Structure 1
Amino acid sequence: MTTTTSFEDKVAFLQQHGVDELAHSSADLLAHLQGVHDLLRAWGCRPQLCDAGLFHSVYGTEIFPTGAVPIELRPVVRGLIGEDAETLVHLFGTVSRAGIFDAAFEGAPFLLETRTGGQVGITDQQYTDLAVLTVANWLEQRPRFPESSRNSRAREFRTMRQFLPITPRQALDEAYRFTPLTQPAT
């Protein structure tokens, strides 16, 4: 479901919650969120995934635990970006990064480790969306990181490529100088 809330209203909500005042990867969180959204949009992702990119870490994540939006406001966020996008945002904040990467090696059915040590089952589509979101999140901020860390998680990203649609996969291949896959992702 696509919402009728304008991009400007979504950004205004984020600003009301101070995301433009939180430091993130040598920028501010709002700049990062908009950058992830813009990458997803440039890759031709559906609007729900782009909206998830705009909000992807507002509840906090394992790596960026500073949540700007209280989890109690999930219904409000859902009203702004729709149920599918908000579910992805919640999953992105709930699961561990290792869980997302481990699932690339283990494959379906996808059972991801949460930040609290539990597990959550997700659909194949949700895994693909989380993989694309993970790639966009990383590639957006990667240029601001020291050269020595820009190729981190290469093994994991190389394996994750099989679950990515062609455009994000090509962006990842270019960034890491991976040899392109010879068969399309499923």
Structure 2
Amino acid sequence: MISLTSPVETRAHGWPAGAKLAVLCAATIVLFAVDGLIWHMGFCAGMLALYAAPGRQFLRTGLRRLSMLWPFVVLVVAWHVLTGAAVEGVQIALRMITAVGLANLVTMTTRLSDMVDVMRWLLTPLTVFGLQTKGVELAVALVIRFTPVLADKGRLLRQSWRARATQRVGWRIILPFAVLAIDDAEHVAEALRARGGL
């Protein structure tokens, strides 16, 4: 597993995790409440400016992590072009890029342990009803940690396919990708059992 926190230190690294997550929630609400292509172009430009502010290395790292969105962006825009709603498709794509970009910005400037602490604090009232917060905390941590790991393994699978075949990468890598994900899940489950589970 790898850390999502950026090695480039920024001022945002010292801000409270709860405040950053609250601002992220508010920004996401605004993104979905506001319509208009110009607005969303401005929001996306503002998000990119936040990435650029700490420097070129931070910007490169952030954009690399957002590169996995491009297939979804192409699919959304192509569908809306075919249905005669190209402007709406571009607006949806910009909204998606901005929302995911802001969320990625929070994870890049916040330690995972700090986010888990916020999650624990939010879930504390539910312990009255018998909810075991440790399971939820672990699930959130695993999702955050393993998403880039699986994306990286998918990239390596695509590269391996291109090195060995003349055909385009297609559905054939779905099965080996699923096997890799299941294998990782089994290793994590064995490690958890070895440490006493939850």
Using the size of structure 1 for normalisation, the TM-score is: 0.32
Structure with greater strand percent: 1
Using the size of structure 2 for normalisation, the TM-score is: 0.31
Structure with greater helix percent: 2
Tell which has more relative contact order, 1 or 2 (C-alpha 8 A, sep 6+). Answer: 2
